[in-house]
Amino acid sequence: MAEKEEALNNLEKIEADALAVLEDVANQESLEAWRVSHLGRSSPVMGVFSSMGSMDKALRPVMGKAANEVRQALETAFEEKQQLMEAKALKKALETEQLDVTLPGRPIAHGRLHPLTQVLRRITRIFGDMGFQVYPSPEVETDDYNFTYLNMPPYHPARDMWDTFYTKTEGVLLRTHTSPGQIRVMRDRAPEPIRAILPGATMRYEQLSARSEIEFAQVEVLVIGENVTFAELKGTLEDFARRLFGEDARTRLRPSHFPFTEPSAEMDVGCFVCGGEGCPVCKETGWLEILGCGMVHPVVLEYGGYDPEKFSGFAAGMGIDRSTLMRYRIDDIRHFRNNDVRFLRQF
Amino acid sequence: MRVPLTWLKDYVDIDDLDLEALAKVMTMVGLEVEEIRMVGLPMPSGEKHEFKYTGFSWPEDKFVVAQVDEVMPHPNADRLVLCRLNDGNEEIIVLTGAPNLYEYKGKGALEKPLKVAYAREGSTLYDGHQPGRKLTTLKRMKIRGVESFSMICSEKELGISDAHEGVIILDEDAPTGMPLVDYMGDAVFDVDTLPNMVRDASVLGMAREIAAATGKELKHPNAAFEMTGPSIKGKAAIEINDLELNPRFVLGLIGGIQIQPSPYWVRRRLNLAGMRPINCIVDATNYVMLELGEPLHAFDYDILLERAADETPTIITRTAKDGEKLTTLDGVEHALDREMELVTDTSGPLSLAGVMGGEESEVNSNTKSVLLEGASWNFINIRKTVSKLKINSEAAYRFSRGVHPALAELGVRLCLKRMHEWGGGQVAKGLIDNYPAPPEDPVVELSTEWVNNSLGTDISAQEIADILIALEFECEVEGDIITAKTPPHRLDIHTGIIGRADLLEEISRIYGFDKIPSQRLNQPLPPQQVDPSLGMEENLKDLLVNLGLQELIAYRMTSPEREARRFPPDFEVPDQQYIEIQNPITVERRVMRRSILSSMLEILEYNSSLGQRLALFEIGPVFHPVEGQQLPEEKMMLSIGLTGLREKPSWQGSEPENMDFYDLKGVVEGMMQGLHIADVGYQASEYPSFHPGKTAKILIGDLEIGVMGEVHPLVKANYEMEEPPVYAAEIELKPLLEAGSILFDVEAVPTYPPVLEDLAVVVNENVTAAEVEAVMRKGGGDYLAKVQLFDIYRGKQLGEGKKSLAFSLTYIAPDHTLTDKEVSKLRNKIIHLLDQELDAKLRS
Ligand SMILES: [Zn+2]
């Protein structure tokens, strides 16, 4: 029995010694060293297992159980110690690790849609919601489509409203507005009703300056049906303006003249720069002109293949460059086609 | 046109409207007021104004009508005078340098005191000695030893005109002591006249619109007066050659006139309206033109007599003969052509009809008798003349837009009356009037129902008629039907359906657009078009933006020289047809572009020094003339341009590397994947703009749709660009978008784990990665899900002309977990095939 007593005492001592050493362990390395020397293959407790073979057969189960208990106790102590140390380390890390959050982030190389594309998309989306579909139309046009079919026969005074680039081909010019697209859609669709939107580039003979461009983007809107009214023109364009400029946008229709519409009007929107107080952008009026519109002229309906006694319609046209210019208070309209990336990246 | 408020008030009573309200009425009937220039009147009350105001006001206590009783010499200066002046309160000595007072100097007390516009001490007015219009305030000072603190004003100082040669001498009846603002304070409306409203390029026309919009009465000018001279019969004759070009010609005659300045109020009105006063005769023609809208022309009758060698002067209107010339009164000699309408007499051209008078027969300081022309001209003919001769005038502005022939007679009568009032003399009895075929003023019939259906309103027949009557239409109402006869002052109303549209405009504009209700579209939705290309185009733009590219919109106009820069210098540029612009703004923009690559290179050049990394794209048309076709083909193209750093430099880590061919290819591949185009191929190819060894054509199936590669170093040298190479692609949009599909198959996400392994093979330099990949796929079969090249190595130990390509292979079976045995079988098959087909050895 003395042998058993002694062996058990030895085990107790092994446990006590190991725990005493563990108490003083203060870092990861010494903890790992502790694990090797007190739980590793050549550790005292493992030595007990390997010496088991030379033990009395009767003693073996008792000693096996006791040694196992010691090993488990040491393992548990190790895990607890490890957790404690990890918690300490994390606490320390959280206390000491600090970034300069004001340093710039890693730049991501990105692209953007051209500002005019962005504005055009907003416009086509709004009209799209109202059932309008987009039609393409050519930028190099015939004199007939650009003028004559729009109720401006040769030498019509209203032709002066558009300074035109002519090509060296007889009767061919660079379209001065998107309105010739009206005739193209009508001829394509007659006698069906139409809700069309025609975006595209237009060209006018101007001296290039901060305020005037030779090429610019326009959108044409066209509705044809059997009883289209001025009230519908007004309602549709007011809805459009509210959606483009915001719920509070004030609008007004002012009589104007376009040969291809009658009555003709211009739509003004309350100046979004000064809120209507008056500023240089709105020339102190509090109003900004955003589009021209009107009821489709009978002559135009006829050229488009619709009987003006039966059909009516309205049309509107707006310049995208100018309204974008005003909206973002851009100082120079030429930025849009100079494509300076420092400008484009801001949108 | 600029219209003074006081003049408008002659024809419509608008005392109850303040300036804001009046300007709003005008704008809302189509007379858009761009600016209101204050010439004395106080600014409208209230902080917020809807219109732009310029000019300044004349406070009652500062600016008054005064009289100069004596003009005395200045003791120390010849060019200054001292005026003994009475401003209604007191007598003051006022110093002035006005040359138009010299003639009264030293003549003692004046028999007729001179009435002047007087500004007291502390008045704020324009500085007459500075260019432009700059306000200054009168302060007490000494000029050459004489104290000065107030001023007798010139027109410039009061903002009436730019004249500063002398002080204003008012009409004799101006009441001394009256505040100047009450005597002649004014406001000038600058109105943008619409091209179809030339009838309103007149004070009466504008007054008519205001009267109609406000329900007020229009007061016509009174043209009645007694012609006391001998009859005009036999004094002149008229011959019209072509009634189409000249429907009416009216002549009046006045003799014994005195060429002198018009009364001051006339000169002031002309100045405010923007016309320079000349003398009472010329002023009368201009005044009536502004008043009525009918341009008139005065001939010196004695010169006409002389030209007719004392026969009866005969006015002949005809088109010019070949080689005929005329010097107009602006001193310019014009070579005329056979289309240009002239007013001539038996000895040749007198004036350019409806545009400008000739120098020879114009009224001058010796003129005693005036033959006055009021005529009507074909507006298209006038337009042609004006555009051919590049000449313009107030008369041409009106006649080239259409003036009703009825106004010719009224204009002549009014003008003769005014010439007589302002220049004396005797008006010959009667007029000579050649008007054989007066036009029928259109009659339009319209129903209330049609009007309301068109506008979306509920206006009564009487209300409609009242609006038209206010615009001086003659109207009859019968039940629902209104019959309206166009008044004899406008040519813009047609008959039939167009006439109805014309009247609809008149009705809606006077009724007020703001009173018309707003409604949503009530129409049936039209048949929907399937137009995938525009949708796909948007999709493509989004894809390219997501791939890190910035969108551009370039000018369509360019020059062949600019486009030739996209070729190397020694390259023989093919002779290509361009859409050429007849009237380019500059030679640099004289054709429509053929190459979108050129636009891209120019924009890369523009930005070259501005961005360390440029990644750009544009979608837009190029213009190709087509033989036998009027309009060019507008071919939609996509261009991509890359240059500079692969990533943006950061404060962390190392400097990023420059982009290369494979960055461009990555973009193109990403685009193809995003469009779900499967059958894409890339073949090494040569194009003049690109580096011969670093360029590929892009194929979809067998169809070549574009090119991509490094821009040829010699081409790059044509542009001012930074060091890094430039990569570009040029792709036709139509086949690209047509190949893209909206519907595509989605592969199942595998549920069994993949087996990954790397395989490096050594091949001859001429074997492409694509060939190796194809063989691997052939050997790997369906279980080889992915083949990805991850390294290319060349080195001595591989031997000359050899390279090693390392691939990462992914095996997956859709229905079970692959075993090592299965994978090794596949690998062996791949290795065997590589060896057999490409002589590729496994790299050990
Ligand atoms: Zn504003």
In angstroms, the CA A90 to CA A81 distance is 14
CATH code assigned to B59-184: 2.40.50.140
Are the C-beta atoms of residues A319 and A218 closer than 8 Å to each other?
A: yes
The answer on A207 and A63 residing in a single domain is: no
- Retrieve residue B801's tokens: 């002309």
pLDDT score recorded for residue A1 = 59
Provide the H-helix boundaries in B361-447: 379-389, 394-399, 406-423
Q: pLDDT tens across B479-536, in order?
A: 999 999 999 999 999 999 999 999 999 999 999 999 999 999 999 999 998 775 678 8
In a domain, A168, yes or no: yes
**How is residue B249 annotated by DSSP?**
E
Beta-strand pair B237-240/B314-319: parallel
| Phi, psi dihedral angles at A194 (to 5 degrees) | -130, 140
Residue of B nearest to A127 (CA): B521
Domain membership of residue A291 as a residue range = 115-344
In a domain, A339, yes or no: yes
- The CATH number given to whatever domain includes residue A142 is 3.30.930.10
CA dihedral A216, A217, A221, A222 (to 10 degrees): 70
A279 Cα to the center of ligand 1, angstroms:
4
End-to-end CA distance of chain B: 92
Q: Which residues pair with A2 in a beta bridge?
A: none
Residue type at position B36: I
Q: Are B409 and B431 in contact (CB under 8 A)?
A: yes
pLDDT band for position B183 (50/70/90)?
A: very high
What's the complex ipTM? 0.87
A25 and A135 inside one domain:
no
Domain at B532-739: CATH architecture: 2-Layer Sandwich (3.30)
The answer to the question of residue A101 being in a domain is no
pLDDT band, very low/low/confident/very high, at A5 (cuts 50, 70, 90): confident
How far is Cα of residue B85 from the mean position of the Cα atoms in its chain? 51
Is B633 in a helix, a strand, or coil?
A: strand
Instruction: Tell me the residue type at A36.
Output: V
User: From B452, which residue of chain A is nearest by alpha-carbon distance?
Assistant: A229
A216 and A313 fall within a common domain:
yes
Task: Please name the amino acid found at residue B500.
Answer: R
For residue B581, is pLDDT > 60?
yes
User: What's the length of chain A?
Assistant: 347
Smallest Cα distance from B608 to chain A, Å: 10
Nearest one of B200, B379, B273, B456 to A255, comparing CA atoms = B200
How much is the average pLDDT of B573-578? 89
Where is A289: in which H helix or E strand?
strand A287-296
Same fold, B2-56+188-214 and B443-511: yes
* Domain assignment of residue A204, yes or no: yes
pLDDT given for residue B574 in this prediction: 85
| A230 CB within 8 Å of a chain B CB | yes
Check residue B119 and give its pLDDT.
Answer: 96
- Per-residue CA distances from A168 to A175, B55, B590, B630 (Å): 14, 48, 10, 11
Mean pLDDT across B26-33: 95
Query: Is residue A54 very low, low, confident or very high in pLDDT (cuts 50, 70, 90)?
Result: confident
Distance B51 CA to ligand 1 centre (A): 11
Give the tokens for residue A112. Answer: 């953007």
* First-to-last C-alpha distance (Å) of chain A: 91
Residues A76 and A201 in one domain: no
| pLDDT value for A7 | 80
What pLDDT sits at residue A199?
95
Q: Decide if pLDDT at B841 tops 60.
A: yes
Domain boundaries, chain B: 2-56+188-214, 59-184, 237-434, 443-511, 532-739, 755-842
| Helices (H), ranges, B512-555 | 532-546
Fold of B237-434: Phenylalanyl-tRNA Synthetase; Chain B, domain 3 (3.50.40)
Q: Which amino acid is at A227?
A: N
| Contact criterion met (CB below 8 Å) for A256 and B30 | yes
The first and second tokens of residue B225, run together, are 């007066």
Chain B: residue whose CA lies nearest to A341: B607
CB B121 within 8 A of CB B138: yes
Q: What is the pLDDT of residues A29-39, one digit of tens each?
A: 899 999 998 88
Judged by CB atoms closer than 8 Å, whether chains meet at B606 and A337 is answered as: no
Q: What is the pTM of this model?
A: 0.86
Q: Which two tokens stand for residue B489?
A: 């002052």
Of A111, A226, A277, the CB nearest to B550: A111
Query: At which residue do the structure tokens 């000065």 appear?
Result: B148
pLDDT value of position A280: 83
User: Looking at CA atoms only, how far is residue A95 from chain B in angstroms?
Assistant: 24
* pLDDT tens sequence across A112-132: 999 999 999 999 999 999 999
SS3 label, residue A115: helix
Q: Confidence band (pLDDT; 50, 70, 90) for B190?
A: very high
* DSSP per-residue string spanning B8-66: HTTTS--TTS-HHHHHHHHHHTT-EEEEEEEEESPPPSSS--SS-EEEEE--TTTEEEE
Distance from Cα A277 to the centre of ligand 1, integer Å: 6
Q: Is residue A125 part of a domain?
A: yes
Distance from CA of A131 to the nearest CA of B (A): 7
Question: DSSP letter string over A121-177?
Answer: HHHHHHHHHTT-EE----SEEEHHHHTGGGT--TT-GGGGGS--PBBSSTTEEE-SS
Closest CB to A262 among B457, B505, B613: B505
Strand segments, DSSP code E, in B686-838 are 690-700, 703-711, 726-732, 755-764, 784-793, 802-811
Q: What is the pLDDT of residues B81-133, one digit of tens each?
A: 999 999 999 999 999 989 999 999 988 899 999 999 999 999 999 998 889 89
pLDDT band with cut points at 50, 70 and 90 for residue B653: confident
The CATH-assigned architecture of domain B2-56+188-214 is 2-Layer Sandwich (3.30)
Rounded Cα distance between B430 and B433, Å, is 9
Report the sign of the C-alpha dihedral through residues B566, B568, B574, B580, in that order: positive
Judge whether A172 is closer than 8 Å to chain B, CB to CB: yes
Alpha carbon distance A155, A134 (integer Å): 32
A240 part of a folded domain: yes
Interchain pair B508, A263: CB under 8 A:
yes
HSE-up of B488 (CA within 13 Å, CB side)? 10
Residues in chain B: 844
3-state percent helix, strand, coil for chain A, nearest multiple of 5: 45, 20, 35
B505 inside 8 A of chain A by CB: yes
Instruction: Please state, rounded to an integer, the average pLDDT across all residues of chain B.
Output: 94
- Contacts with B, A 240-299, CB within 8 Å: 252-257, 259, 262-265, 276-278, 283-287, 295, 297-299
Tell me: do A186 and A90 sit in the same domain. Answer: no
Domain co-membership, A233 together with A336: yes
Do the beta carbons of residue A214 and residue A93 sit within 8 Å?
no
Chain B residues 87-106 with CB within 8 Å of chain A: none
Question: Taking the CA of residue A16 as centre, how many other CA atoms within 13 Å lie in the half-sphere pointing to its CB?
Answer: 6
What is the least distance, in Å, from the CA of B656 to any CA of chain A?
12
Q: How far apart are CA B167 and CA B81, in angstroms?
A: 12
Residue B166 structure tokens: 């002398």
Q: Between A160, A195, A337, which is nearest B555 by CB?
A: A337
B729 strand-pairing partners = B640, B708
Are A262 and A304 in the same domain? yes
Q: What is the pLDDT of residues B732-774, one digit of tens each?
A: 999 999 998 878 888 878 889 999 999 999 999 999 999 999 9
Q: Between chains, do B557 and A257 touch, taking CB under 8 Å as contact?
A: no
Q: Report d(CA A330, CA A337) in Å as an integer.
A: 13
Instruction: Check CB contact of A27 with chain B, cutoff 8 Å.
Output: no
> Whose structure tokens read 């007087």?
B118
Strand B426-427 versus strand B432-434 pairing type:
unpaired
| Residue B158 Cα to ligand 1 middle (Å) | 30
- Whether the CB-CB separation of B553 and B621 falls below 8 Å is answered with no
- Rounded distance between C-alpha atoms, residue B257 and residue A346, angstroms: 71
Please state, in angstroms and rounded to a whole number, the distance separating the CA atoms of residues B676 and B742: 8
Determine, for residues A214 and B585 on separate chains, whether the beta-carbon distance falls below 8 Å: yes
Asked if residue A39 and residue A150 are part of one domain, the reply reads no
> Domain ends where: A51, A67, A96?
A96
Provide the pLDDT confidence category of residue A66 given band limits of 50, 70 and 90: confident
Q: What DSSP string describes B761-804?
A: EEEETTS-HHHHHHHHHHHHGGGEEEEEEEEEE--GGG-TTEEE
The pair of three-digit structure tokens given for residue B248, joined into one six-digit string: 């009416």
| Token pair of A327 as six digits | 């909206």
Number of structural domains found in chain A: 2
Contact A203 B519 (CB under 8 A): no
Indicate the class that CATH gives domain B755-842. alpha beta
Considering only the beta carbons, identify the residue of B29, B501, B523 that sits closest to A228.
Answer: B523
DSSP strand pairing (B356-357 vs B91-96): unpaired
* Nearest residue of A to residue B381, measured between CA atoms: A155
- Cβ-defined contact of A140 to B526 (cutoff 8 Å): no
Contact B14, B210 (CB under 8 A): yes
> Which two structure tokens, joined as six digits, stand for A21?
């050493």
pLDDT band of residue B603 (cuts 50, 70, 90) is very high
Considering the domain B443-511 in this protein, what is its CATH number? 3.30.56.10
**Rounded-to-integer distance, Cα B659 and Cα B549, Å:** 13
Q: Find chain A residues with C-beta within 8 A of B546's C-beta.
A: 111
Task: Work out the mean pLDDT of chain A and round it to a whole number.
Answer: 91
Structure tokens at B74: 């200045």
Q: Does residue A141 surpass a pLDDT of 80?
A: yes
Taking CB atoms and an 8 Å cutoff, what residues of chain B touch A287?
50
pLDDT of residue B533: 64
Shared-domain flag, residues A81 and A124: no
